[in-house]
C-alpha cells in the first residue's frame, strides 16, 4: 500500500516563482553596511593582499566611494581610519581636525543622506595596536586599562558627533563602554545620536586579514577584553548588558561561526541586531572562489541568508558593493 502524505512540501518548490512567493527571508541593499578603510598621506588606493578586492582609500577619494555606494543602493558606511599620527593612547581620534573627524565630514558632505557610522576604537590609532590605554602588570603581557579607556572613548564619541556622524559604533569591548558613551553624548547635546555596540565581540582568529587592512602594529592578545569563543552564555549576557546601558543596535562579531549566539540574542532582545562578516570570513570565500572550487556569488548569498535566518537585521560586509551589484542586476 502506498502512503500518501496529507501535505507535500514540494508543491511550493515546483517553480522559481512559487519559491519566491513563500520565501521566509530576503536580502536587500537595505540590510548592508559597507566598511571603508581610509588612510592618511596616500594619493592612490592601496591594495590589501590578504583581502582581494578591498583597498585602503586615500582621503581624497572617500567622497567618490561614498557616492558610488549610495548609487548602488547602499545606505550606510562604517569608517575605519588608518592613521599616520599614532601615539600610545590614540589621541588623534579626539582631535577635531584628526583623521576620524575629517573622514566623517567628507562622507557626510559627499552624500548627506548616507548613514555615516564611525568605528569607535583605538587600535588603528595607537602605536601598540591595542584598543585603549595600556596598563602593565598582566601576567599575559600588555593589557588595556578599562576606565581611562572609557574616558577617552567619551572624548572620541563627542568629536565624532560634532563632525556630523550619524551613529557611534564602539568596538573596544571595554566594560561600561555603552553607558559611558551614552552619558557623554547626552551631556554634549547629542542625545539623538544612536549607538550600535559591538556588544558581543569574540577574541577570534577570523580577524587576521583586518590587521593588514589597518596596517596594525599589534602584538600579543586581546583575550583579556574580547570574548572567549567558548562562552555562549557570557556572549548573551554581554549583549543584554549593553542593551540595558542604552545600545540602540546590538552586534555579533564574527558571524558564520557564531550563528548560535546570534539566534540566542535575537530570542532575548527586540533591539535591531547586526552581524559583522569579518575579514577572515571574506578572505576564505575569496580564496576558494579564486581556486575555482566554489560559486562565489552563491556562497556569499547563502552566507548572508544564514545571518538573516539566525535573526540579524543588518550585515556589515566587505562584499556589500558586490552584493548590491548582484541584487541590482
The phi and psi torsions of 230 (rounded to 5 degrees) equal -80, -10
Element (H, E) at 167: strand 167-170
108 noted as active-site residue:
no
Considering 72, 86, 108, 253, which one is annotated as catalytic?
253
Instruction: Measure the CA–CA gap between 104 and 112, rounded to whole angstroms.
Output: 11
201 is catalytic: yes
Strand partners, 315: 32, 275
Question: Which of 72, 86, 108, 201 is the catalytic position?
Answer: 201
Q: Give the C-alpha separation, 79 to 69, whole Å.
A: 13
Tell me which residue of 318, 163, 186, 168 sits closest to 249, measured CA to CA. Answer: 168
Residues 6 or more apart in contact with residue 74 via CB below 8 angstroms: 29, 32, 33, 34, 320, 321, 324
Which letter does DSSP use for residue 177 in this model? H
Task: Give the separation between CA 49 and CA 135, rounded to whole angstroms.
Answer: 33
The closest of 30, 59, 28 to 45, measured between CA atoms, is 59
Other beta carbons less than 10 A from residue 80's beta carbon? 22
Asked if 99 and 83 touch (Cβ cutoff 8 Å), the reply is: yes
DSSP H or E segment with residue 120: strand 115-120
Q: Which residues are marked as active site?
A: 201, 253
Amino acid at each position: 500500500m502506498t502512503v500518501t502524505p496529507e501535505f507535500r512540501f514540494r508543491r511550493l518548490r515546483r517553480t522559481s516563482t512559487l519559491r519566491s512567493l513563500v520565501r521566509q527571508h530576503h536580502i536587500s541593499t537595505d540590510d548592508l553596511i559597507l566598511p571603508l578603510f581610509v588612510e592618511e598621506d596616500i594619493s592612490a588606493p592601496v591594495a590589501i593582499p590578504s583581502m582581494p578586492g578591498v583597498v585602503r582609500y586615500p582621503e581624497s577619494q572617500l567622497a567618490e566611494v561614498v557616492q558610488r555606494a549610495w548609487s548602488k543602493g547602499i545606505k550606510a558606511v562604517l569608517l575605519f581610519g588608518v592613521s599616520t599620527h599614532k601615539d600610545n593612547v590614540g589621541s588623534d581620534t579626539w582631535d577635531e581636525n584628526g583623521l576620524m573627524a575629517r573622514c566623517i565630514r567628507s562622507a557626510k558632505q559627499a552624500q548627506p543622506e548616507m548613514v555615516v557610522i564611525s568605528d569607535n576604537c583605538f587600535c588603528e590609532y595607537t602605536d601598540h595596536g591595542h584598543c585603549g590605554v595600556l596598563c602593565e602588570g598582566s601576567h599575559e603581557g600588555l593589557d588595556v586599562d578599562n576606565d581611562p579607556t572609557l574616558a577617552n572613548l567619551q572624548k572620541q564619541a563627542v568629536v565624532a558627533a560634532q563632525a556630523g556622524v550619524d551613529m557611534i559604533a564602539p568596538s573596544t569591548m571595554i566594560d561600561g563602554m555603552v553607558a559611558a558613551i551614552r552619558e557623554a553624548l547626552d551631556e554634549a547635546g547629542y542625545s539623538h545620536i544612536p549607538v550600535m555596540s559591538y556588544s558581543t565581540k569574540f577574541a577570534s582568529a577570523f580577524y587576521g586579514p583586518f590587521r593588514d587592512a589597518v596596517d596594525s602594529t599589534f602584538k600579543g592578545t586581546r583575550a583579556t577584553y574580547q570574548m572567549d569563543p567558548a562562552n555562549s552564555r557570557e556572549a548573551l549576557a554581554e549583549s543584554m548588558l549593553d542593551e540595558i546601558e542604552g545600545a540602540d543596535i546590538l552586534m555579533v562579531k564574527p558571524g558564520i561561526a557564531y550563528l548560535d549566539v546570534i539566534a540566542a540574542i535575537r530570542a532575548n532582545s527586540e533591539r535591531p541586531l547586526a552581524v559583522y562578516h569579518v575579514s577572515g570570513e571574506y578572505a576564505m570565500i575569496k580564496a576558494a572562489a579564486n581556486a575555482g572550487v566554489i560559486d562565489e556569488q552563491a556562497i556569499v548569498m547563502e552566507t548572508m541568508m544564514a545571518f538573516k535566518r539566525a535573526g540579524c537585521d543588518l550585515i556589515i560586509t566587505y562584499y556589500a558593493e558586490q552584493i548590491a551589484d548582484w541584487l541590482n542586476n
